Chains A and B, each alone.
Chain A
C-alpha cells in the first residue's frame, strides 16, 4: 500500500491566489515527520516545510503553511499569494522508522501558476 498519497497530479492557480495541495499518509509509528519539497524544472529538490507528529501547532514558513490533521492522517500544503515562480512539482514526504532512516515520497503534484 502507498504510504504517501497525493491525489492531484496537476493543479492550476491564478497568480496572487491561495492554493492547497493535498497529502495523506499511512503509518503505524507514533513518531514521524512530514515534509514538503518543491522541484522546479531545473530538477533540484528544495525543502519547504516540516511538521512533526507531536507538534500541536501547524507549521508555517513564510507563504507556506501545513494543514496538519493527525486523526485524518493528512498534511496539506497551503501556498498563499501564489507567484509565477511557484510553478513546479511539489512532493509530500514522510520520515519514520526506529532511526528515522525511512524517507518515503509521494508521487507529486504539478502546480502551474497562471498570470
Chain B
C-alpha cells in the first residue's frame, strides 16, 4: 500500500532563517506531487506541483521554492522565511495517467510558525 511521509511535524523558525520541508511517498511510481499551504481556519492554497523528476510548476510566486530530486521525494525550501510563511504545509500525491478520476492523498502536514 502507498504511504506518504512528511517531516518535521512541527517547526518554529525565526524570520530570515532558511527552510527545508521534506515529503516522500512509498509504494507507487511516478506520482504527481503537490505542496499546499493552509492558513489557520482557511482553505488550501496550491504552491507547487510536479509531474516528474526535476519538473516543478509554481502556482504562486513567492519566496518559496520546490525541488524533486528523486521520483518520490518532494522538497519545499526557502532561503529567508517571512512572518507570512507561517501555516500548515501539506504534501500530497496522486496517480499519474487518467488523472481526472484520481484523488489526492495527503501527508500528515507540517505546522510552521515563523517568529
Could you tell me which A residues sit within 8 Å of B by CB distance? 31-33, 35, 37, 43-45, 47, 50, 52-53, 91, 93, 95-97, 99-101, 103-108
Say yes or no: A108 contacts B34, CB within 8 Å: no
Say yes or no: B108 contacts A44, CB within 8 Å: yes
**Bound CA–CA A35/B103 (angstroms):** 7
A34 shortest CB reach to chain B, Å: 10
Size category of the binding interface on chain B = 20 to 34
Q: Is the interface of B mostly helix, strand, loop or mixed?
A: strand
The 3 closest A-B pairs by CB, nearest first: A100-B99, A45-B106, A105-B44
Say yes or no: B111 contacts A43, CB within 8 Å: yes
Chain A residues with CB under 8 A of B46: 103-105
Chain B residues with CB under 8 A of A93: 104
Q: Give the residues from 62 to 115 in chain B that come closer than 8 angstroms, CB to CB, to chain A.
A: 88, 90, 92, 94, 98-106, 108-109, 111
